[in-house]
Chain A
């Protein structure tokens, strides 16, 4: 396992270099300018804008900018945002807690729905429960989050006036009041994301359960006279979860990456909304940092998923 891990980690280095180079070139070729807002302001003369571009090195050739960025990144300097002139790592750290809280909670909700519903549907396939669950799952992952988000706002904020639709990261209240406000404002974004994710996971859990139910060892377990609960939990679920665990591990980077659309709708100050703002304003250092961290996480969780395989299924070896 040791050499395998080492080999994988060494392979990650050229992948990350490749990813960063492609990202940088694409961003450099994309139209737009971080100081575009200034161009529309007649009281800012063109010279001032040109001076700003020169000062931030935007007029240098792409390869020079890339290697400057890479060299700084290797030394742990993430650069600073052209727009706010604040260090990029500060900006990211400010948004990590909210992102983890909202997206994390929605993933937990998704799991809490997908596992029991998926398992029960597979145990009693084509029952009424299964049919209803399957139809709802189809509806769930067919409806985009921008639609369900706005629908929930219309119902719960505007018609019923129960929940706020603007998420605030720094609530001023303390103690129980803080928890109640925090939960109230999280309900809608977490539900929207959780149901969407949960719906597609339910389908996965169900189908991988059905694959296992048919296998011989399950028939054997049943004929041994084991209790149905034991058969399901020990002999079916454990085996059926192997692909599901991989799937969940691979979506973990999203917990960091945030959810661009939902964050925008509910004004959740997460990484996703920071990324989209940065993209709209051509704030290269921020886009590079977020996407680069994201690619690191994707590579890392791929590795984690591969290692989990071996742990869940000892037949898989790493030699």
Chain B
């Protein structure tokens, strides 16, 4: 690969000081790679990071009053390893910390770690099977006991134990954590693991104290008093917690970072709905911060006109997309609807899929429905930018779609609907109940009509659609419709877990109770080979190239139609100074938040 060679040369230039970081980023931009890629490549190569644009100005700890955060879903648990949603992870993150967190450019930032392990500093082994973390010294738990390697080892034992019923057990069950000395641990993986930053990192990596939870490991985990009264290392100490309603914390005078935190106290209030949460921050200024403002952009803009707050839009890897069913969702084959062995009467024809892709007005959907909160895209994998393919295009062209369908032998009938071999182009298009999605459905239905395709729009209540209820025919996992649309979330800055959605072993079927992640049931040998190669590829540049090739396969086969790369909109008071990361919790940077005077 020529590009690969050029890239390596550039990285060396930066390391030797022949090329400034800024220059490197510009060159990469010329190669079609964004700034975050550059940072990630440099970081992996052990080139020191430049300081973030964010400058922490306060020169002393405390004095900032109370930070009031509003979450329209109330936090229900303060035990990070029991957290069922972001709201609980965020609430736990006020008190607990991981060894490192992800910044917005998908770089690791040390929190309880002394440094980020790299190949250069000996933290990463050459075979990719182990990582050695150096822990920060002098960190104290809220009760004054020192934080050591024992706590990390304990966290691993606690989380991996099936009896503790931890939500994070998937991250810890296959690794082995050993103590090297009081402030060094080694995480060993069963096989070479390019994406090693899972245990002890970000939302699932919060370390819990052995001396508090030790007696409650295993079956008694639910009874631990620490579940309601967390003892962590974070910038705030618990005052009280009412599940589903309110979490209150006060400044931790022993916090391990200087001059932090700025606020004397923190309040996290839960409940209500997203629109009124936006109002409380943007319009009335009653609160300083609001989480996940899933509100139409027009409404947000109107509220911002009040001048009390602003919408903070954080890019993410989440993607709103359409899946075309290439199996037959209406008839049973081997006792199963949408069996992988069956074929869809229209969508198994590549020409029809191509036409469908041209009938979706992505730009229009972005401009008129999502506004600032999503960007039209032709890729399934959009972020971090180093994984974004430059090889795909999207086109909205009804005439061309008509030509393609004509050429493929789909003739218009008397009612204007195309048909072939007695089968009419009438498709059921399902999604969840959501004002934005119903608008998207309408836009697509309209253009399909002009191409002689009749869409029957169906919307299912989210609690049913996104459930894993085996008895219900309307779940997204079953996909018993011709097409469907939803957003799939990318929770990590590495696409390995994200791109497993097109693997043969993940095909959603009766045998796995429709829990498989490959919901559109598209299977491709080449994809399998590339995925297998990426799983063990330790070189980040080569790995990124593999993921780009993976993205291109289902996209160019038009079995999925990516629509919009979504963002996470938050609300913040005008005077709030904060950075948020799309790859970590909103509160992952909470120690750095302050209010301008």
Contacts and interface: CB of A to CB of B under 8 A. Distances in A.
A161 B168 CA distance: 44
A170 B246 contact: yes
A280 B463 contact: yes
Contacts of A46: 512, 515-516
B170 A32 contact: no
B331 interface: no
Nearest to A164: B286
Contacts of B198: 43
Q: Report, as a range, how many residues of chain B touch the other chain.
A: 35 or more
A51 B165 contact: yes
Given A38-B84, A52-B165, A264-B272, A43 B284 contact: no
B248 A170 contact: yes
Interface string B460-472: 0001101111011
B234 interface: no
A101 to B, nearest CB: 14
Given A36-B467, A166-B269, A280-B463, A51 B244 contact: no
Interface in A35-69: 35-52, 55-56
B246 A168 contact: yes
A55 to B, nearest CB: 5
B138 interface: no
Contact of A265 (B84, B276, B490): B276
Interface string A69-108: 0000000000011011110000100110000000000000
Q: Report, as a range, how many residues of chain A touch the other chain.
A: 35 or more
A44 B85 CA distance: 11
Interface in A144-192: 153, 157-158, 161, 164-166, 168-170
Interface stretch (A3-11, A222-230, A266-274): A266-274
Nearest to B79: A85
B165 to A, nearest CB: 5
B228 interface: yes
Interface stretch (B53-61, B69-77, B129-137): B69-77
Contacts of B472: 31
Contact of A52 (B167, B222, B477): B167
Interface string B468-509: 110110000100000000001111100001101000000000
Contact of B245 (A44, A85, A169): A169
Contacts of A264: 271-273
B204 A166 contact: no
Contacts of A282: 463
Nearest to B227: A85
A47 B489 CA distance: 19
Interface of B: 70, 74, 76-77, 79, 82, 84-85, 162, 165, 167-171, 198, 204, 222, 227-228, 240, 242-246, 248, 269-273, 276, 279-280, 283-284, 286-287, 463-464, 466-469, 471-472, 477, 488-492, 497-498, 500, 512, 515-517
Interface of A: 31-52, 55-56, 80-81, 83-86, 91, 94-95, 153, 157-158, 161, 164-166, 168-170, 264-265, 267, 269, 273-274, 277, 280, 282
15 contacts: A32-B463, A33-B468, A42-B488, A42-B489, A44-B170, A46-B516, A49-B515, A55-B165, A94-B245, A161-B284, A165-B286, A166-B286, A267-B270, A273-B244, A280-B463
